[in-house]
Amino acid sequence: MPGSGFDVPWYTLEVERRTPQSIIRIDYTIMPFDEKGRIDKSEQEKEMRLAVEFMSPLLSIFEEERTGKIVDARSQFTKKRYEQEFRWAPRPEIEEAIIATIFG
């Protein structure tokens, strides 16, 4: 990345009467910044392009089943690149602390 990034945990929760009931989805993303400390729009666009590129074969799964064609492996390599550049994995103690804070 040209600048640096900030690790951001995104938790999607099921909430009832303002009380968290369960975690629906967890996503650990890297928010890219440019040299001036602003969100790097070009890196965000790159992230979106990669996401669309590796998701495209998933969207055409019915066509594959109908025609019997083999999945193009490029999407797997693109997904790996996407995860290396735009995702992170927290240490167990960080994830536990976040979950404890949510359900505290």
What does the domain layout of the chain look like in residue ranges?
A: 4-93
- As a whole number, the mean pLDDT across the chain is 84
pLDDT digits (tens, 9 = 90+) for 64-87: 555 555 556 777 888 899 888 889
User: What pLDDT shows up at residue 1?
Assistant: 44
- Among 38, 57, 35, 52, smallest CA distance to 86 is for 52
The tokens describing 93, both together, are 């103690």
Q: What is the mean pLDDT of residues 29-54?
A: 88
- Among 26-35, 55-64, 86-95, which is the least confidently predicted range? 55-64
- Give the pTM: 0.66
Q: If pLDDT is split at 50, 70 and 90, which confidence band does 94 have?
A: very high
- Rounded to 10 deg, the angle between the 74-86 and 41-59 helix axes is 150
CA pair distance 13, 21, nearest whole angstrom: 7
The tokens describing 63, both together, are 């066509």
User: What pLDDT shows up at residue 66?
Assistant: 56
What is the H or E stretch that residue 21 is in? strand 19-33
Q: If pLDDT is split at 50, 70 and 90, which confidence band does 57 have?
A: low
CA pair distance 57, 61, nearest whole angstrom: 6
CA pair distance 12, 23, nearest whole angstrom: 6
